[in-house]
Amino acid sequence: MKLELVIVDDSHLWLSLAEKLAKTHPLVRSVLTFEDSYDAWVHIQIAKPQVVMSDIEMPGMNGLSFLEMFADRLPFISSSTKQEFEVVARELGCVDFVSKPFTKSELHRALDLVYYKIYGKKVSA
């Protein structure tokens, strides 16, 4: 039981970092990335991935819009350079919030929380 993760971020730098770090998590099966929020929106509706990590501040459809549309159906990890978005993101239903710049351990902890939410099992160290 491994996770299928979609990462959405308009910054190529943050997108590639998140992808690289997520792929090192032992319980992540696959990572698909999107720089365009509208392309991600279409994919999420069709493919119904297990978990989505989304930047809050993006042009077009932002991360809060994603939470409003999908948080009741999919576990979300929200991310931003602005810590003040955490409260709103959690109110909208994100499982965890990671502040940029984030570390490997912070991202892995967020993925552990999502895994627990989906499967009801804690990740073994």
122 falls within a domain: no
Kindly tell me if the per-residue pLDDT of 41 is higher than 90.
yes
Residue 97's SS3 state is: strand
125 falls within a domain: no
77 falls within a domain: yes
Residue 77's SS3 state is: strand
Q: How confident is the model at residue 124 (pLDDT cuts 50, 70, 90)?
A: low
Q: Position 103: which residue type?
A: T
Averaged pLDDT, 13-22: 97
Kindly tell me if the per-residue pLDDT of 19 is higher than 60.
yes
Domains of the chain: total? 1
Contact between 16 and 10 under an 8 Å Cβ cutoff? The reply is no
Residues β-bridged to residue 18: none
pLDDT number for residue 1? 87
Looking up residue 10, the CATH number of its domain turns out to be 3.40.50.2300
Query: What pLDDT digit, counting tens, does each position of 85-101 carry?
Result: 999 999 999 999 999 99
Q: Give the structural domain span for 63.
A: 3-117
